[in-house]
Amino acid sequence: MSPSIRVVLAEDQAMVLGALSALLELEADISVIATTANGRDAAEAVARLKPDVLVTDIEMPQMTGLELAATLRTNHPNVRTIILTTFARPGYLRRALDAGARGYLLKDRPAKELADAVRRVHRGMRVVDPALAAEAWNAELDPLTDRERQILQRAGDGRSSTEIATELHLSEGTVRNYLSEAIAKLGASNRVDAARIARTKGWL
């Protein structure tokens, strides 16, 4: 029998994390070697345990699944990332693939599909939800730069320009300029509206 595919799971909802772990452990050729509830712990588990595959949600405390995928692509290129999420938005899919994720699956798919995706990604293939992949071909391109996204995300969470400037080591004027650019690109009326539009499209 071939050796087990070693998997680290990252999911901040405890019941979902437990269910995913239990489902994957039913597979004879898959072994869950760590479960984590935030992105930073997941990154540390990957660095320590060197799994074959990381399965992660997008929205998690301390480090998002997209940030995790990008970190692994740089620091642990042999570890393949699968994004497992409720977000059926082409914008998220594009960003996940750009970050280096090898798989993008929705949580409402049958459990067997996740195990199959782990096997296929481990073999070097790419696995993307077919309906979402078709939609992504016709989706608008994300107009935001990484810095605009970073600042808009914080503004949407209610932080002031002063707070954002302090956190990102920028001047307040620079922060306001980035926000103005993002608002203009999205055709929004203000920073809150811009963040809402970007989130709806999967760009934040």
Do 47 and 76 contact (CB within 8 A), yes or no? yes
CATH code, 5-137: 3.40.50.2300
Report helix, strand or coil for 119. Answer: helix
Query: Is the CATH number of domain 146-200 1.20.120.1630?
Result: no
Question: Sheet of 80-85: strands edge to edge?
Answer: 30-36, 5-10, 53-56, 80-85, 103-106, 127-128
Domain locations along the chain: 5-137, 146-200
Query: Facing residues of 34 across strands?
Result: 8
Residue-wise burial string across 170-189, b where 16 or more C-beta atoms lie within 10 A, e elsewhere: beeeebbebbebbbebbebe
pTM of the model: 0.68
pLDDT tens track, the chain, 204 positions: 456 899 999 999 999 899 999 999 999 899 999 999 999 999 999 999 999 999 999 888 888 898 999 999 999 999 999 999 887 777 788 888 888 999 999 888 887 889 999 999 999 999 988 767 655 555 567 788 889 988 998 998 889 999 999 988 999 999 999 999 999 888 888 988 899 888 887 787
Helix, strand, coil percentages, rounded to 5, for the chain: 50, 15, 35
